[in-house]
A and B are shown apart, each in its own frame.
Chain A
């Protein structure tokens, strides 16, 4: 039986977060913020517009790295959370494949991007995103290159959590590459993660 992705997305989308009396949200081993998506997207786009051309790849990589480290540490917190145990764990039949499927269902249910894994092995994973906020700037005519470094970085991070060895030593055991983007005219975003030798 295939992983019940739809139910996880539905259930996880209903999980609420609440600030404490200091105005902070703590959960999954991290401090959480809850901000308009266009703030995060806008900063990435504004950085890419400001950076000299010869540094644009480096700037993109720094944005990717933010998603990568966020995904690795928060992802670890997610798969060890009570919410995971209640919602995802009962639907995991085969590890690590279903753990990864569950992680992307959580990713989707939280609104980071409507994603699913279309290929996975210990060496390589391909993720597609059919709707994601990082593509929203395309309507403003500001995007000239694939601009979903957050999804790309988080995809690499989730792969590392599944196949990179014990946390926290799995970071940088894989790299992500965005090969398609809604923001550049494709029907979906596509992200290829490969293990680093």
Chain B
């Protein structure tokens, strides 16, 4: 029996003219460009002395866990398939690309992206490269699995095994317990 994704992402967007801030579902939200995302990613990638890639992944996990967890609670989304749909839709709403969670079970999982802000931005700025660059989505998926399966943060890790930035037709992430 195929899963039917029924939820539609709810985004309540407001602007506070006093503070000049934009909020999405109560969270301060900003627009940035692929130059910014690419340079932050490059900084994380270059920072081998103190494992910048893990810092970027963990920062993403920490930030998006709160966003996703609060969203599921506020919208009263409890079914796993609906949580999966919300996770996919939120990433597209952010402009981060088309995320397809192919398998979300409580021991591991798999996700794919056929378009990715980080990969497309990196290619536009610097061209292709052999190694993965989408540490932000890796952190996002770790957060997503915690929210989907009601586990604490820092339970999951996502590994990018195939990537658009290298010329593959899609990025592939495997998710497992740490």
What is the bound-complex CA distance between A63 and B70, given in angstroms? 29
A1 within 8 A of B: no
List residues 1-45 of chain A with CB under 8 A from any CB of chain B.
9-10, 13-14, 16-17, 19, 21-25, 28, 30-40, 42-43
Shortest CB distance B141–A (Å) = 15
Q: How many residues of B contact A (CB 8 A)?
A: 52
Select B43's contact among A31, A47, A74, beta carbons within 8 Å. A47
Q: Contact between B29 and A37 (Cβ–Cβ < 8 Å)?
A: yes
Q: A33 and B94 in contact (CB under 8 A), knowing A13-B17, A66-B36?
A: yes
- B30, A111: Cβ atoms under 8 Å? yes
Interface size bracket, A side: 35 or more
A31 touches B40 (CB 8 A): no
Q: When the two chains form the complex, which single residue of B29, B39, B50 contacts A111, counting CB atoms closer than 8 Å?
A: B29
> Can you report 29 residue pairs joining A to B where beta carbons are below 8 Å apart?
A13-B20, A17-B31, A23-B93, A23-B96, A24-B120, A30-B35, A31-B117, A31-B124, A32-B31, A32-B32, A33-B95, A34-B30, A35-B30, A35-B63, A40-B36, A42-B59, A47-B44, A50-B52, A59-B43, A62-B43, A63-B43, A69-B39, A74-B35, A110-B22, A111-B29, A111-B31, A112-B30, A114-B19, A131-B21
